[in-house]
């Protein structure tokens, strides 16, 4: 798939964020034979942002987690 080629074309270090229920788990069609059961089946994911659709607060929390904000202690 194109996502794998795009991922491999990125220079290191690289991170990927899975945004929303469909990207995280395949969404409501997860059991269809043509649906990936989550993007982590194809590329490594650094942060999962839940929701359908994700709430703005979830996006902020996920990006803060990715940046390491709040990990000081």
Domain extents for the chain?
A: 2-67
**Confidence at residue 72, expressed as pLDDT on a 0 to 100 scale:** 63
Q: Which fold has domain 2-67?
A: Rossmann fold (3.40.50)
Sign for the CA dihedral angle at 29, 37, 66, 44 comes to negative
**Confidence at residue 49, expressed as pLDDT on a 0 to 100 scale:** 98
The single residue listed with the structure tokens 């659709």 is 53
**Confidence at residue 8, expressed as pLDDT on a 0 to 100 scale:** 97
**Confidence at residue 69, expressed as pLDDT on a 0 to 100 scale:** 81
Residues lower than pLDDT 70 in the chain: 70-73
């Amino acid at each position: 798939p194109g996502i794998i080629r795009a991922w491999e074309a990125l220079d290191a270090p690289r991170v990927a964020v899975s945004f929303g229920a469909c990207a995280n788990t395949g969404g409501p069609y997860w059991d269809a034979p043509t649906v990936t059961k989550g993007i982590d089946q194809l590329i490594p994911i650094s942060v999962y942002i839940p929701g359908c659709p994700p709430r703005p607060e979830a996006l902020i929390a996920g990006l803060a987690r990715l940046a390491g904000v709040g990990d000081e202690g």
